[in-house]
Structure 1
């Protein structure tokens, strides 16, 4: 487990402002718990502190205050050989490939530096080429690849030494949607097949939605929200959920024909597919979807709908839906006090 405990980090003001400006506070009392084997996303706008947090977790930067612990070990107290040993267990994806080397040669470079023999090196490179889906491109040079393929090679190179932790800072920057999916698939395989704990920094909430188990929102150096992605989906007032769930828009005319209009979040195949029709049948009410839509968190379908309910037992139908795990919030018209 990685524990980030009350970490703060600041930097001196730029040379032109040094005489008058206070230091730049990059991180402010950041706390995070990342379980072993997780794919954890840190999302935030440019300048929110993601890269500074990544360097602190990677043990390339010491925090001013607080601690970064690996399985309870306070890494901020390490130096010399012990610090280098700890750093060797944390790999950082660096998109800069050596242009003169082949794909296989780029992946093999970290193994060559530590003296891994030829047979073991070739075996490891072959495994990683399979993980990134570029076995046939082994003899090509980076210039022959697309930007997304180059990014996958960079991930494989970071994984070459078998690190316990893989840090990917904005790994999908500058690549198109189709190639983004391939890069994220590689990060997921790094976790599921190679056993790495993956910490992913990104400004793109859709990236988090596609692959992460847990997520934290970083804003001006502070964690303003964190938790399990599916758990946050139905949390009232969640900024992360609001970004990830489909937008809801409804005209007053659509809402006016119902006795009750509410927003509902449904998580999972059974809820999304059957819960609303079953409630309508069981309570003899009309339930109409008048806004929202369906998305996925990883492989799990998640819907945010604005629904209208008409009938004498509308309140009972909504209570029944909430009892079965749906998140019913934001009463808009008619019934009051429905929330779960």
Structure 2
């Protein structure tokens, strides 16, 4: 659905041009929710604006549903633009209009008749959970509710693609969860393809299927979230998994120390106790933690093993789906 090929974008400055994107290529499948993650200044918003046809790249191609948008003009370009909705990081609302009036605005601009417009506004308000707020004005709402009004306005014209630039920025944790729930619902119920940018790993953990890691304008890694987590040394794993902090003294009491990623209910719940029982070894969690990616539990643990058959236990754990990595200066030969 969204294909970006070798995109490069720079901006003029007094000294020399600032290179915001450097040969970036991504591929977002239809119906997916793709998260672009990186620190401030990584080029995330620039990428979103290029895909939204708001910025023209220096080089490279943006394709939407196979169409090279740079080759379009006039009526065809306007048609494609209408299929792409944008939720900005700080979206403005019409202060004098009600919630329903804000959502209706793009439909009015398209000349949609009154009865059809009211039906569509009602559907959208239900989708974003603001039916009871339809008659209120933006000043009467919380920041999270205003963000959902903006999302409803972006969805009013039934786009095929939604670009959400840092959708939870400036929103408190509880309300951010409500915004993400709506985005997940939009993907599930409407089949909208989404490209979402964020600095917050919690956003990716909550709703993203695929992820691209952007650093200083370069795409350093991309793929399925769970596939990337399978490698504890990946950029995604380092950014998104619980951190591990242990001392040499904690590890010193064990024969072997490794870092492991376990994905899914069966691995997280049963794999380590079964290995301990099967090989008569102690398997202790001495660091790390457990999190969720969507509905899938993922553990990132530092394990201490002690016993005569630790090497065999580690090999069995690895063979049954855990992803094990040696810890420099703390590990054992079987983990290498």
Q: Same fold (TM over 0.5)?
A: yes
CA distance in 1, matches of 2:83, 2:65: 12
Deviation by residue 1:216-235 (Cα, 9 ceiling, x = unmatched): 11111110111111111121
CA distance in 1, matches of 2:330, 2:219: 35
Question: Is contact 2:285-2:301 (8 Å) kept?
Answer: yes
CA distance in 2, matches of 1:335, 1:2: 45
Number of matched residues?
333
* Aligned counterpart, 1:88: 82
List aligned pairs for 1:111-126, cutoff 5 A: 111-126=107-122
* Aligned counterpart, 2:43: 49
* Aligned counterpart, 1:37: 31
CA distance in 1, matches of 2:272, 2:334: 20
Change (3 A) 1:122 1:287: same
List aligned pairs for 1:60-71, cutoff 5 A: 60-71=54-65
* Structure 1: 5+ residue stretches without partners: none
* Aligned counterpart, 1:8: 8
2:335 to 324, 328, 338: 338
Deviation by residue 1:113-170 (Cα, 9 ceiling, x = unmatched): 1111222111111111111111110111111100000000100100000000001101
Question: Is contact 1:259-1:333 (8 Å) kept?
Answer: no
**TM-score, L = length of structure 1:** 0.95
CA distance in 1, matches of 2:19, 2:71: 22
SS of 1:10's partner is strand
Deviation by residue 1:187-206 (Cα, 9 ceiling, x = unmatched): 11111111111111112122
CA distance in 2, matches of 1:81, 1:30: 28
> How well do the aligned residues superpose, as a CA RMSD in angstroms?
1.2
* Aligned counterpart, 1:262: 258
2:169 to 173, 195, 206: 173
Question: Is contact 2:242-2:290 (8 Å) kept?
Answer: yes
CA distance in 1, matches of 2:222, 2:307: 39
* Aligned counterpart, 1:288: 284
Shift of 1:337: 4.3
